[in-house]
Amino acid sequence: MSMSGDELFAAGRFDEAMAAYRRVLAQDPGNAEARMGLDAILERARTTQPNAGLRELLLQAYADEGANWDAVGWGAANQIVVGWPHDNDLLKLAADPLLLEFLKKSLNRDAALERKLLALRRAAAEALLATDAPPPEVVALAEALAEQAWLNEYVWPDDATVPDGPASAMFRPSAAPRAEVVEERRLASEIPEIAPIVDAVSQSVAAMYEANPYPRWTHLARRPMVDVRAALMRDFPHAQTVDFGSGPLQVLMPGAGTGQHPLTVASSYANAQVTGVDLSRASLAYGKRMAGRYGIDNIEFLRGDILDLSKLGRTFDHAECVGVLHHMADPRAGLLAIVSVLRPGAFLRLGLYGESARSIVVKARRDIEAARLPSTLDGLREFRRKVMTGEWRRLRALTDWEDFWSASLLRDLCFHVQEHRFTVSRVRSLLEGSGLKFLGFEFNVGASQRADAGAGPLALYASRFRNEPTLSDLASWEQLEREKSGLFPGYAFVCQKE
Ligand SMILES: C[S@@+](CC[C@H](N)C(=O)[O-])C[C@H]1O[C@@H](n2cnc3c(N)ncnc32)[C@H](O)[C@@H]1O
């Protein structure tokens, strides 16, 4: 029997996997598994010379609303860089459909490409300012660059010599708000509130995310439908089986942010009813607008503090809380508040910052504080300038982080008003006496990391602690972390309420 795309992918046979995914998509263009698999290959695809076949596949991905444009942006950036004309010819570049699609749909995360794009932006501005009737290709390129500026929230440097007018949208927001911003302001006022925010740290965290909702995202990638409890029972067979009946699975998403994760859950978890809670109305309004755009109606958004969840007066069958608890004054108080609204047997998926993985962020936070850089757009731009020009060389590796590349991402990464970082030992203390049973760490979640499945920390644990088939003893993980630095990029794990 021939191997599936996923099997070929897991075996590292990427060319054959790509062919298998393409065959499936040719028969069934809406197939989510094949789309995810192909996108994961396009994400990794790197060549030193332009590759016409890859460019074609990337353009097809950009033409598919269900593709993962975040992922394929990596492969597209590579093709754009290796195909960049030596003479930097504006008209040639303006006629490149892949460049235009990339600028409109993927956030650039490549330092070399950013330098080229800044020069291109300058050239496009000069061309626009030189005549009342610029070539239509240049107008289209300027529109695409303006869209990229919107995606990165104007974190690229401004240029005061470009006056407000047709070229300035590539440099700074226009005075008239975009339609989606107007819609979000209206939606924000309609979001019900659990209770007023009174905790001092929650108030300052709320203010931060009101100004910079995290993350700005543009489309929802297609995902296969999944019965999440059955999938977790398969991954963690030592979990307790509990039957919640046939009604919709009540899913809580504390710290819902701008809705990307909650809407993925609402649209891909079978028979789920999702409740997203967050401090930031602006973030929730973003999520609500996107829910409307995708016609997702099995979700509600509530403004409130995790600390006040019990005031909802209801319980949940499942919860996912990623990138949130480490921003609370007392993460354990937040955890206990979540546990208090879970039904026994409910799964809770958590994601927390790691101390060792973030050592460079700790250095950045110190330097930012010493230089008194404010968390305003100007402060963020100045920080990027120092890092990217090498003035702050020791922080250069921050450009390898996905969150370096837009204002809200960078503010969240390096300018946060509150952050805790964990080790396995701190995860253990966090969970002790919480009423949760630790089921296991998750690595390689999602298509983009499939190629690493089977290797890495779980395999290491299995060979090191052969008599622990559940891979879930935190004391052993603690030991492994001591023995092998860099084991955890952060802590993603699943627990079950006892
Ligand atoms: C880094 S963002 C993560 C958003 C989302 N979970 C994701 O993964 O994209 C952190 C979010 O947690 C929210 N948050 C932080 N503390 C909170 C609290 N005490 N109660 C509710 N939401 C909180 C923030 O407002 C922000 O939207």
Q: What is the CA radius of gyration of the chain?
A: 23
Separation of 273 CA from ligand 1 center, angstroms? 20
Separation of 254 CA from ligand 1 center, angstroms? 7
Low-confidence ranges of the chain (pLDDT < 70): 1, 444-455
pLDDT digits (tens, 9 = 90+) for 439-485: 999 986 543 333 444 568 898 999 999 999 999 999 999 999 999 98
Separation of 256 CA from ligand 1 center, angstroms? 6
Which of 265, 256, 464 is CA-nearest to residue 347? Answer: 265
- Residue 216 Cβ inside 6 Å of ligand 1? The answer reads no
- Residue 209 Cβ inside 6 Å of ligand 1? The answer reads yes
Q: In what order do the strands lie in the sheet with 491-497?
A: 299-303, 272-278, 249-254, 316-322, 342-352, 491-497, 436-441
The encoded tokens of residue 152 equal: 């990165």
Three-state SS string across 245-258, please?
Answer: CCCCEEEEEECCCC
Please list, in sequence order, all residues whose beta carbon lies within 8 angstroms of the beta carbon of residue 17, skipping any fewer than 6 positions away.
5, 6, 8, 9, 37, 41
- Residue 259 Cβ inside 6 Å of ligand 1? The answer reads no
For every residue of 303-353, DSSP letters joined together read E--GGGGGGG---EEEEEEES-GGGSS-HHHHHHHHHTTEEEEEEEEEEE-
CA distance 46 to 451: 15
Q: What is the DSSP pairing of strand 272-278 with strand 249-254?
A: parallel
Among the residues of 371-483, which ranges form H helices?
Answer: 377-389, 407-414, 424-431, 457-464, 474-483
CA distance 239 to 235: 9
**Topology of domain 195-355+421-497, CATH:** Rossmann fold (3.40.50)
pLDDT at 453: 46
User: How many other CB atoms are found less than 10 A from the CB of residue 451?
Assistant: 19
Task: Please give the backbone phi and psi of residue 115, each rounded to the nearest 5 degrees, phi first.
Answer: -60, -45
CA distance 63 to 69: 10
CA distance 408 to 386: 18
- Residue 408 Cβ inside 6 Å of ligand 1? The answer reads no
Q: Give the DSSP H or E segment for 229.
A: helix 228-235
- Residue 323 Cβ inside 6 Å of ligand 1? The answer reads yes
- Residue 257 Cβ inside 6 Å of ligand 1? The answer reads yes
Q: Give the DSSP H or E segment for 272.
A: strand 272-278
Separation of 455 CA from ligand 1 center, angstroms? 31
pLDDT digits (tens, 9 = 90+) for 49-82: 999 999 999 999 999 999 999 999 999 999 999 9
209 CA closest ligand 1 atom index: 25
User: How many other CB atoms are found less than 10 A from the CB of residue 177?
Assistant: 12
Separation of 449 CA from ligand 1 center, angstroms? 24
Q: Using CA positions, which residue lies closest to atom 4 of ligand 1? A: 257
Which of 461, 425, 426 is CA-nearest to residue 442? Answer: 461
307 CA closest ligand 1 atom index: 19
- Residue burial 397-419, b: 16+ Cβ < 10 Å; e: rest: ebbebebbbbbbbbbbbbbbeeb
- Residue 106 Cβ inside 6 Å of ligand 1? The answer reads no
Domain assignments of the chain as residue spans, ordered by start: 5-167, 195-355+421-497, 359-414
CA distance 451 to 38: 12
Q: What is the DSSP pairing of strand 436-441 with strand 491-497?
A: antiparallel
CA distance 202 to 406: 23
Which of 216, 151, 223 is CA-nearest to residue 448? Answer: 223
Pocket test for ligand 1, best of 70, 216, 279, 305 (most atoms within 8 A of CB): 279
- Residue 328 Cβ inside 6 Å of ligand 1? The answer reads yes
206 CA closest ligand 1 atom index: 25
User: How many other CB atoms are found less than 10 A from the CB of residue 292?
Assistant: 12
Q: Using CA positions, which residue lies closest to atom 26 of ligand 1? A: 257
Separation of 74 CA from ligand 1 center, angstroms? 26
Separation of 54 CA from ligand 1 center, angstroms? 37
pLDDT at 249: 97
- Residue 37 Cβ inside 6 Å of ligand 1? The answer reads no
Q: Collapse the DSSP code of 302 into the 3-class scheme (helix H, G, I; strand E, B; otherwise coil) and give the result.
A: strand
Q: Give the DSSP H or E segment for 368.
A: helix 359-370
pLDDT at 7: 84
Pocket test for ligand 1, best of 212, 253, 278, 312 (most atoms within 8 A of CB): 278
201 CA closest ligand 1 atom index: 19
Separation of 201 CA from ligand 1 center, angstroms? 12
